[in-house]
Amino acid sequence: MIPVTQVKKGMTLKMEGELFKVVDVFHHTQGRGYAIVKLKLKSLKDGRQIEKRLQSGEKVEQAYLERVPMTYIYNDGDLYYFMNNETYEQVPIHREMIGEVVYFLKEDVVFEIEMHDGKPVGVIPPKTVELEVVETEPYLKGATAAASNKPAVLETGLKISVPFFIEKGDVIKIDTEELKYIERVRQK
């Protein structure tokens, strides 16, 4: 058990017999009396979001999750299969649990799978991934620096802003946390 004042965004808590990922934390101090901590939580079981108001003296149970490196291998409908790099066991994870990470899924890329009691409860992408540009405006010679970015669609369906010199077929490296272009890895 940890004091609610030590709860941080991204932690996993066990409340009411269920696991919740902390989406946001708000500390509110009143003139006199207890400070209040508001937690915005997302259920790892069904994805619903709830808010909890707790007094600063209360304690919550932090769930400890094992992080297992697994390689994404393929998907079948809404099930995405990952292979444990040590045991070669294939683990199916439903699309709802993967969420926005689906835009980074590319065969043979290693992800960290959060496990609780032997069951997957979350997917953490690598810091960067390399994806091919499948759609963007053509390069225009003489384009000004003011128009240095343009929209692009990547092979997984992710839409990001890229520099003007990036063309369809180029492979680019992107930051998975900030959804930003980092560099061009390979030209078409």
Mean pLDDT, rounded, for 44-62: 84
The highest-level CATH class for domain 66-124 is mainly beta
Average pLDDT over all residues of the chain? 86
Domain boundaries, given as residue ranges, for the chain: 2-62, 66-124, 129-186
pTM of the model: 0.72
Q: Are 2-62 and 66-124 equal in CATH topology?
A: no
Per-residue tokens: 98: 């993967």
Domain 2-62 carries which CATH code? 2.30.30.30
Q: Are 121 and 19 in contact (CB under 8 A)?
A: yes
For residue range 147-168, list pLDDT tens digits in order.
Answer: 578 899 999 999 999 998 889 9
Strand partners, 160: 152
Return the percentage of the chain with pLDDT > 90, whole number. Answer: 35
The stretches of the chain forming alpha helices (DSSP H) are 95-98
The highest-level CATH class for domain 129-186 is mainly beta
